[in-house]
Amino acid sequence: MRQAGRSLPEYRALRGSGSILDAIADPDLACEITLQPVRRYGVDAAILFSDIVVPYHAIGFGVDVVAGRGPVIAQPVRHESDLERLRDLTEGDIAHVTATVDRVVAALAPSDTPLIGFAGAPFTVASYLVEGGPSRDFAVIKTLLHADPALFERLSERLVAITVAFLRAQIRHGARCVQLFDSWAGSLTRDEYRRFALEPTRRVLEGIADLGVPAIVFGVGTGELLDLMATSGADVVGVDWRVDLDDARRRVGDRAVQGNLDPARCLGSVEAGVAGAREVLAHAGTRPGHVFNLGHGVLPSTDPAVLEAIVRVVHDEGRAGV
């Protein structure tokens, strides 16, 4: 997941207490943070150090990431006129991101380790832009969906265009896979997901299909949506820890799956973490098409030794993924 290195002491020493957006804006720093988990754990891919609000910060929409809270929007979307602030994203706007990708790809070249880029899916980004920050009940965005679906559709169109531009830039500079985080899709009913989230996700994936890289789609609490997510055009469907992988595989059909160790299982002993990993591998079975991962981000208090042991057991006992 995208915060793979945040439990590392070397990460905390390098990051300090500054803003994550400032760290992302420094290509040398962002490159080093991206590489730290690869060096420490020997994982099979690097994940770009970035954030889903980076393109919206880059176009001056008025986004900040507040420590301990997350993305905060100075002027949330309320009216049609607010969409004017969502201008097209150019590669120049995100030169710091593409410079980071260039550095990471060059550093990984001798080992042929791939870099995974990512972006926020339209519905999840819209949730932040409309709510003004993280939410527990998503009352504002859900009210908008049903009270003014036409405005939400126009908002989604702008977010699709920005997301496609963001992902295409990462791929052009060397990302060999991308992940689309629809973190808050689990707040939706199945009908709401079909009406408001699935089609924008499809359009994003269609917008990068010609570049020929695999795409992963992931959401939190989306067990009841997995079959729908599998129709988005993604090659891989990420699964959180609430659904057993054998059940998830039945729900997604011929799609590959990614997941799904509960991050909390990594907070105890090495033995407990390894036991959890083996349970995931057992549920995944011997059928190809499983990318082992946590079911959400690494918790900051995780002991790196536990993650090191989990990587070893997956390499020793798991099968090759997609």
Q: Are residue 215 and residue 293 in the same domain, yes or no?
A: no
Rounded to a whole number of angstroms, the distance between the first and last alpha carbons of the chain is: 16
Rounded to whole angstroms, how far apart are CA atoms 248 and 243?
A: 6
Query: Has 136 been annotated as catalytic?
Result: no
4 domain residue, yes or no? no
141 domain residue, yes or no? yes
Spatial contact of 17 and 86, defined as CB atoms under 8 Å apart: no
| CA 230 to centroid of chain Cα atoms | 16
Range of the domain at 59: 9-238
Catalytic residue among 51, 93, 182, 240: 51
Query: Has 15 been annotated as catalytic?
Result: yes
Q: Are residue 180 and residue 54 in the same domain, yes or no?
A: yes
Query: Has 194 been annotated as catalytic?
Result: no
Q: Are residue 227 and residue 274 in the same domain, yes or no?
A: no
Give ∠ CA 118-18-302 in degrees, rounded to 5.
65
pLDDT at position 322 is 36
Query: Has 11 been annotated as catalytic?
Result: no
> Cβ neighbours of residue 123 under 8 Å, at least 6 residues apart?
156, 182, 184, 185, 188, 196, 197, 200, 201
Task: Look at the pTM and tell me if it is higher than 0.85.
Answer: yes
Q: Are residue 153 and residue 300 in the same domain, yes or no?
A: no
> Cβ neighbours of residue 251 under 8 Å, at least 6 residues apart?
223, 226, 227, 230, 243
Catalytic residue among 15, 203, 249, 265: 15
Q: Are residue 195 and residue 282 in the same domain, yes or no?
A: no
- The residues that bridge with 115 in the sheet, in sequence order, are 46
Q: Are residue 181 and residue 311 in the same domain, yes or no?
A: no
Instruction: Give residue for tokens 């946590």.
Output: 294
Q: Are residue 230 and residue 289 in the same domain, yes or no?
A: no
Q: Are residue 315 and residue 275 in the same domain, yes or no?
A: yes
Question: Where are the strands (E) in 99-144, listed by range?
Answer: 115-120
Angular region, 269: left φ>0, alpha ψ -120 to 50, beta rest: beta
Backbone angles phi, psi at 22, to 5 degrees: -65, -40
73 domain residue, yes or no? yes
Tokens matching residue 156: 């989604």
257 domain residue, yes or no? no
Residue type, 145: L
pLDDT at position 319 is 65
Q: Are residue 213 and residue 297 in the same domain, yes or no?
A: no
Checking 144-151 for CB contacts under 8 A at 24+ apart, the result is 145/192, 145/195, 145/196, 149/195, 149/196, 151/79, 151/80
Q: Are residue 97 and residue 214 in the same domain, yes or no?
A: yes
Q: Are residue 170 and residue 208 in the same domain, yes or no?
A: yes
Catalytic residue among 103, 128, 158, 240: 128
pLDDT at position 247 is 96
Rounded to whole angstroms, how far apart are CA atoms 257 and 239?
A: 7
Q: Are residue 221 and residue 285 in the same domain, yes or no?
A: no
Number of domains in the chain: 2
243 domain residue, yes or no? no
Query: Has 56 been annotated as catalytic?
Result: no
272 domain residue, yes or no? yes
Helices and strands per DSSP (H, E), number in the chain: 14, 9
Give ∠ CA 236-274-180 in degrees, rounded to 5.
20
251 domain residue, yes or no? no
Over the chain (322 residues), what is each successive 10-residue block's mean pLDDT? 73 85 95 95 94 96 86 94 96 98 98 97 97 92 96 98 98 98 96 98 98 97 97 98 96 95 95 97 92 92 95 86 39
Q: What is the CATH number of the domain that holds 129?
A: 3.20.20.210
